[in-house]
Amino acid sequence: MTAGPRSDAWEKVTGRARYAVDMVMPNMAHAAVVRSERAHARIAGIDRAEAEAVGGVIAVVTADDLGHLGRRFGHIVPDHYVLAKGKVRYYGEPVAVVVAETPHQAADAAGLVWVDYDDLPVLTDSASALASDVLIHEQSYTEPGQEFLGVAPTPSADNAAHRGELAWGDAETALAAATTVVETTATFPLVYGYAMETYNALADWQPGSLHVVSTAQHPLMVRKELARMFSLPLAAVRVEVPYIGGGYGSKSYTKLEPLAAAASWASGRPVKVTTDVEGAMYTTRADGAVVTVRTGFDAGARICARDIDIRFDTGAYADNSPLVLTKSINRSFGPYRIPNLRVRGVAAYTNTTPASSYRGFGAPQGALASELNMDMAADRLGIDPVELRRRNLLAPGDTIIDGKRPLDADLAADLDAIVSALDSHRAAPEPGTLRGRAVAVTASDAGASPISTAQVRMHADGSVTLLVSSTEMGQGSRTALAQIAARELHVDLDSVAVGQSDTRFTPFEWTTGASRTTTVVGLAVQAACADLWDNLRAKAAESAGVPVDEVVVHAGRLHPAAETLTPAEVIRRWFGVDAGEVVGVGVIRRDGATEMLPPFWEIGAVGVEVSVNEATGEVTVEHLVTVGDVGHAVNPELVKGQDLGAATQGLGIALWEEMVYDGEQLTNPNLIEYRVPRLRDTPRRITSVLAERGDGAGPYGAKGAGEGALNPVPAAVAAAVGRAVGVWPTELPLTPPRVWSLLHQAGAG
């Protein structure tokens, strides 16, 4: 998690942090998941007799016990069984769940469940899966009318979970006529969105109702899935999300909630399902990718065409990867003027951990090849890579994709800020090291769908309760939204309490993701505050016996007739006692300023300088520069924290992180062998620049932050290492053995 310093006011706003793992319900039981020890196999039989005999065991549940609850879930492609039904598709897939009085009893019994398998051919990468006649899913999951954010399942007779394409002009003809064509193929690794709190869910099924407490980023979407699964009305399903320990997109949509709910239904008890790090790594990850970019340039080094091929390794189930692929296609070609474009993408089923949302949402995969391609082109053309970008960058107000919002950023100015920061602290290489530096820029159609609702309640003492359903997971949304409410209502920050993410009590919210909360939810908070002022004016006018048009609001006070009243005085006068409250509701939808999608373009603009140890291949980040192009920073320290956190995750992908498969089995499902950045890996110098030009659609001209600083970092690090070593890397992470190999290639060359 990345957040700014916690002041006393911050603590008062956020309240005491609560974690779902600590939640309890009366008579709660604990579940242990029996995970498949095969990657692709038929389930010939399950013997659970020994497990059922263990003391404290309440139930051992398999797919056959679930009846109609054994149906599949999935908000885009309904391909995912609650428990594997007849077939497992990846090593670690849940096959059974043991419910017991204590976690230890459940774990002991889970080890006694015996599963008999008939092995099937294993396909663990996209190339082999797409070329194989062996189908991981024998059926197509297309259903009439099924669509999510414009993405619908695509019929498939092979191992493609989804396909997509974006094109304009004639890319092939333009490439044939180009003066220079540069081709780059880059491999993006399988990475796990390590959050401090792993996945967990607590479910309590009662006839006619279901209550779930979980780590979901999107509680209302989880509610929708569970309501469909249990054939319940939405009002009968309550999903509650306490303060959670990090998400980074990996806790988007439905994960463990169906399993906990089904176990509660089958056992008749409230049931908590938790995962350790290994279980979490078997739950979801980011899409791995192989991306090929061909770019054609004219004699003036201007892009005349780009052709891009994206191949995702999506794992055993589609989850949100069809949407991630669609976004990757939209984000892969960069914020450049491109008169001729063709992008094709396919998300392939493989016998590996399912992929889903991950911070950056398809942008880092495409940017790796696309931005590295720009550096390779600059080298070929004999032009400074910054100058090559300047010649081709879109200007503010230019169109990136027809029919979408014009670019709401000044990328050339962002690039200038990066170069200035890098130039101000440039040092000569130390003996035995090589130095390289690079920049990278991206633009993402962020913000998701601009649907948001907020409610503000002003109490008789003038304090305020703000209710929203955006999930707080360490990004600081409670602080930022409270600041907006305090600013709009002219109250101290200490006077604002924030309630979040309980579908029974908080208003509708589309999602927590896509860097949208400050922008879109912030607009809903502003609208709710405006509605509250209207209601206060009406009550002040009624109490004073004057027309509402004569009540003026200025500097947080109301002026009916010749009086000056505080909002609290208006409330108490209208109710006639020292009590009561006034409510304001704000609703944002696709209308007016938010009608055109995306709600904003999230900018990624970074620069890095690295040193490479010639003897070991170890890479050290000497200087990291991030530009937070956010329009307006409601809380500057939180924005800087988000940028640094995102960039650090990008450094992890660039230099250390990779889920490694040996055949069908994941070999490093732990935080010893799966290497995340550590404190000693922090760049030696960090420069954080905020670009506040008021060019966003959000409150006070704000735009989203949180993902932008991750998206270009892997590409920038790869390019910087390539410039240092003299050989362009094409596969991440750039571990010492890989960089050492590049050094030897350079020496041999």
- Whole-number pLDDT of residue 86: 93
Residue 724 CB partners (closer than 8 Å, separation 6+): 434, 435, 436, 610, 611, 612
User: Of the CATH numbers 3.40.50.300, 3.90.1150.10, 3.40.50.11540, 3.90.1170.50, which one belongs to the domain with range 8-122+193-281?
Assistant: 3.90.1170.50
Name the least confident of 132-141, 331-340, 378-387, 390-399. 132-141
Architecture of domain 123-189+294-392: 2-Layer Sandwich (3.30)
Q: Where are the domains of the chain?
A: 8-122+193-281, 123-189+294-392, 403-438+602-749, 452-594
Q: Span 92-110, mean pLDDT?
A: 97
Average pLDDT over residues 217-223: 95
* Candidate from 21-25, 369-373, 731-735 with smallest mean pLDDT: 21-25
Percent of the chain with pLDDT strictly greater than 90: 89
Q: Do domains 123-189+294-392 and 452-594 have the same CATH topology?
A: yes
CA dist 186 and 291 (Å) reads: 6
**What is the pLDDT, as a whole number, of residue 426?**
83
Asked if residues 201 and 211 have their Cβ atoms less than 8 Å apart, the reply is: no
Q: Are strands 160-168 and 271-274 parallel, antiparallel or unpaired?
A: unpaired
Residue 101 has pLDDT above 60, yes or no: yes
Beta bridge partner(s), residue 33: 97
Could you read off the pLDDT of 585-626 as tens digits, one per residue?
A: 999 999 998 999 999 999 999 999 999 999 999 999 999 999
**Which of 657, 667, 670 has its CA nearest to residue 277?**
670
Instruction: Count the neighbouring beta carbons within 10 Å of the beta carbon of residue 562.
Output: 6
- Burial zone of 686 (CB within 10 Å; 0-12 exposed, 13-18 middle, 19+ buried): middle
Q: How many CB atoms lie within 10 A of CB 351?
A: 29
Angle (CA) 734-414-630 rounded to 5° is: 95
pLDDT in tens, 656-715: 999 999 999 999 999 899 999 999 999 999 999 999 999 999 999 999 999 999 999 999
What is the tens place of the pLDDT at every residue in 277-328? 999 999 999 999 999 999 999 999 999 999 999 999 999 999 999 999 999 9
pLDDT of residue 90: 97
Phi/psi region, residue 27 (left: phi>0; alpha: psi -120 to 50; beta: rest), is left
- Considering only residues 254 and 12, tell me which one the structure prediction assigns the higher pLDDT: 254
Q: Which of 56-60, 70-74, 77-81 has the lowest mean pLDDT?
A: 70-74
| pLDDT value for 173 | 98
Residues 705 and 723: their CA atoms lie apart, in Å, by 29
Confidence of residue 157 (pLDDT cuts 50, 70, 90): confident
State the pLDDT at residue 39. Answer: 97
Give the rounded distance of the alpha carbon of 265 from its chain centre. Answer: 31
The stretches of 385-463 forming alpha helices (DSSP H) are: 385-392, 411-424
At the topology level, CATH places domain 403-438+602-749 in Aldehyde Oxidoreductase; domain 4 (3.30.365)
Which tens digits make up the pLDDT trace of 237-275?
Answer: 999 999 999 999 999 999 999 999 999 999 999 999 999
483-541 per-position pLDDT tens digit: 999 999 999 999 999 999 999 999 999 889 989 999 999 999 999 999 999 999 999 99
Sequence-separated (6 or more) residues with CB below 8 Å from residue 613: 432, 433, 619, 620, 736
Q: What is the pLDDT of residue 149?
A: 65
> How many CB atoms neighbour CB 735 within 10 A?
18
Please report which helix (H) or strand (E) contains residue 646, including its range: helix 636-655
The four Cα atoms 647, 649, 652, 655 give a dihedral, to 10 degrees, of -30
* pLDDT at res. 14: 37
pLDDT at 467 over 90: yes
Radius of gyration of the chain (CA): 27
Q: Are 557 and 566 in contact (CB under 8 A)?
A: yes
Query: Selecting from 3.30.365.10, 3.30.565.10, 3.40.190.10, 3.90.1300.10, what CATH number does the domain 452-594 have?
Result: 3.30.365.10
Q: Is the pLDDT of residue 8 over 60?
A: no
The phi and psi torsions of 471 (rounded to 5 degrees) equal -90, 130
CA–CA separation, 608 vs 626, rounded Å? 9
Using DSSP's 3-state secondary structure scheme, residue 334 falls into coil
Residue 488 near residue 529 (C-beta atoms within 8 A): yes
Using one digit for the tens of pLDDT, what is the confidence trace for 18-36? 333 456 788 999 999 999 9
**pLDDT of amino acid 749:** 66
Q: What pLDDT is stored for residue 561 in this prediction? A: 86
Q: What's the pTM? A: 0.94
The region of weakest confidence among 10-19, 70-79, 209-218, 467-476 is 10-19
Query: For 174-217, how does the pLDDT look when each residue is reduced to its tens digit (9 = 90+)?
Result: 999 999 999 999 999 999 999 999 999 999 999 999 999 999 99
- At 628, the amino acid letter reads G
Q: What is the rounded average pLDDT for all residues in the chain?
A: 93
Q: Which two tokens stand for residue 207?
A: 């006839």
Predicted local distance difference test score (pLDDT) of residue 146: 67
